[in-house]
């Protein structure tokens, strides 16, 4: 089966993990700190904070910025549910914003402006599929409205622009991301004070960690702020240090495969639309395509699977998931909903070759040629 995503793990990662086990120190320590500094350097940032997941990163950012009950945060519905969940974690209200169009399925600036109220305190921008939102436009909007700007950069590690939009950015190293630590995440924040607040809050609000207490030979510590257990461990940091060195090359492979996809889809499947004009600043995390109206997406998925090709969907709209539908029963986001009905994510990862891309497009062409409209009987 040609998978939608596949981590690249090998001997270097195995050696790095073995070294941690042999060291006898597996919780947050020197490797975590090395990883933070290396990740920051790659993005031209002063420093970074490693955490247990991108969800933890988003929660910590909102918490440290003082977002809470009575506040509203603008979020897209075309995202993973964690983006909205993190707003609820701090007691604030997520306000769902429609995308601009199927061609540019990022949060609409006009719609965001229309949904601003006196309670709106922040915006969470999602770099969907690794394609970056327009930085200057959103910065100007945030300044004009007095809003805090946060990046959900789960799909976008490795580009120097990422992490420079606003107050902070959250990254993911989950197993299907451009680089992986199995689970894990990181935060880049502009302000040193904000970083230090986040750093303390990720470990129960304690004034010192276990490694620091060992080095200083003092067992005492204090808890001065509310904190959480959102630490990264040494095993994940060791994986991250190896993966980080390979990330630029892997992102370039993704870019080249994406270019080939665009060429072949345009040639063989002209009725299929690929979002985002080329070139567009991107890490090419996903390969989303939009199927023609009235196409039975499930039949396309089934036919591709019979040919050994996995596909998936990014994303079911968050506001239509049962939990959020119960909270927002009247919510309508027509462009997001239409995009989500027709979007199909094709395989894209560094283990693939151009021959794999050709195989996928041939399979897609065949599946569309024998497809029946939604509701038709095969």
3-state DSSP assignment of residue 189: strand
Q: CA-CA distance, 367 to 17, in Å (whole number)?
A: 43
**Cα Rg for the chain, rounded, in angstroms?**
22
Closest CA to 74 of 148, 167, 166: 148
Is 175 buried (19+), middle (13-18) or exposed (0-12) by CB count in 10 A? middle
Please say if 177 is a catalytic residue.
yes
3-state DSSP assignment of residue 178: coil
Beta-carbon neighbour count of residue 101 at 10 Å? 13
∠ at Cα 169 (165, 172), nearest 5°? 140
Beta-carbon neighbour count of residue 73 at 10 Å? 25
Q: What six digits make up the tokens of 260?
A: 């080939």
Contacts of 44 (CB under 8 A, 6+ apart): 160, 164
Q: CA-CA distance, 155 to 285, in Å (whole number)?
A: 6
Catalytic residue, candidates 177, 245, 246, 306: 177
Closest CA to 94 of 69, 75, 117, 120: 75
Q: CA-CA distance, 256 to 193, in Å (whole number)?
A: 40
Positions marked active-site? 177
């Amino acid at each position: 089966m040609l998978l939608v995503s596949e981590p690249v793990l090998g001997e270097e990662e195995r050696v790095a993990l073995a070294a941690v086990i042999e060291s006898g120190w597996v919780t947050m320590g020197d490797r975590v700190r090395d990883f933070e500094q290396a990740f920051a350097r790659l993005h031209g940032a002063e420093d970074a904070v490693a955490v247990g997941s991108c969800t933890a990163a988003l929660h910590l950012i909102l918490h440290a910025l003082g977002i809470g009950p009575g506040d509203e945060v603008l979020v897209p519905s075309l995202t993973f549910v964690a983006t909205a969940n993190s707003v609820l974690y701090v007691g604030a209200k997520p306000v769902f914003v429609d995308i601009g169009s199927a061609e540019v399925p990022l949060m609409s600036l006009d719609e965001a402006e229309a949904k601003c109220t006196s309670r709106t305190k922040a915006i969470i921008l999602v770099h969907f599929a690794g394609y970056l939102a327009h930085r200057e436009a959103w910065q100007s909007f945030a300044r004009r409205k007095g809003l805090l700007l946060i990046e959900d950069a789960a799909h976008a590690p490795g580009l120097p622009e990422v992490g420079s939009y606003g107050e902070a950015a959250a990254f993911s190293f989950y197993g299907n991301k451009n680089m992986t630590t199995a689970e894990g995440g990181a935060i880049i924040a502009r302000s040193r004070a904000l970083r230090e607040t986040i750093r303390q809050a990720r470990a129960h609000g304690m004034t010192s960690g276990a490694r620091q207490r060992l080095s200083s030979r003092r067992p005492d510590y204090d808890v001065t702020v509310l904190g959480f257990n959102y630490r990264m461990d040494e095993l994940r940091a060791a994986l991250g240090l190896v993966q980080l060195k390979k990330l630029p090359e892997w992102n370039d492979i993704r870019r080249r495969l994406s270019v080939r996809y665009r060429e072949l889809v345009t040639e063989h499947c002209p009725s299929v639309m690929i979002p985002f004009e080329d070139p567009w600043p991107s890490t090419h995390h996903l390969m989303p395509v939009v199927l023609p109206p009235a196409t039975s997406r499930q039949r396309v998925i089934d036919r591709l699977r019979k040919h050994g090709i996995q596909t998936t969907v990014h994303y079911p709209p968050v506001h239509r998931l049962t939990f959020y539908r119960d909270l927002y029963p009247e919510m309508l986001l027509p462009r997001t909903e239409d995009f989500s009905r027709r979007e199909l994510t094709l395989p894209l990862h560094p283990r693939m070759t151009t021959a794999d891309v050709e195989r996928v497009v041939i399979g897609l062409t065949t599946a569309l040629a024998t497809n029946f409209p939604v509701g038709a009987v095969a």
